[in-house]
């Protein structure tokens, strides 16, 4: 499960907890004319991250 929080206007933090290693990864999404996703996690995290961005 990825938690999506708006931390500033049009800026979102997506938090993903990996229980197997008890570590949290933070990703950032900026909405706008040219949206940007800063993905700082493992490759296998991308599909659920993409779904969370679509919700936001």
Q: What are the domain boundaries of the chain?
A: 1-34
Structure tokens at 53: 């961005």
**Which stretches in the chain have pLDDT values below 70?**
40, 56
Rounded distance between C-alpha atoms, residue 7 and residue 2, angstroms: 15
pLDDT of residue 44: 83
Residue 55 half-sphere exposure, CB side, CA atoms within 13 Å? 15
pLDDT of residue 40: 67
**Which pTM does this prediction carry?**
0.76
pLDDT of residue 33: 92
pLDDT of residue 56: 65
φ/ψ region of 24 (left if φ > 0, alpha if ψ in -120 to 50, else beta) reads beta
DSSP 24-40: EEEEEEE-SSS-EEE--
């Amino acid at each position: 499960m990825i938690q999506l929080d708006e931390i500033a206007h049009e800026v979102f933090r997506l938090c993903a907890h990996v229980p197997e290693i008890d570590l949290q990864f933070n990703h950032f999404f900026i909405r706008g004319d040219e949206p940007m996703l800063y993905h700082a996690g493992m490759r296998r995290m991308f599909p659920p991250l993409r779904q969370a961005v679509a919700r936001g």
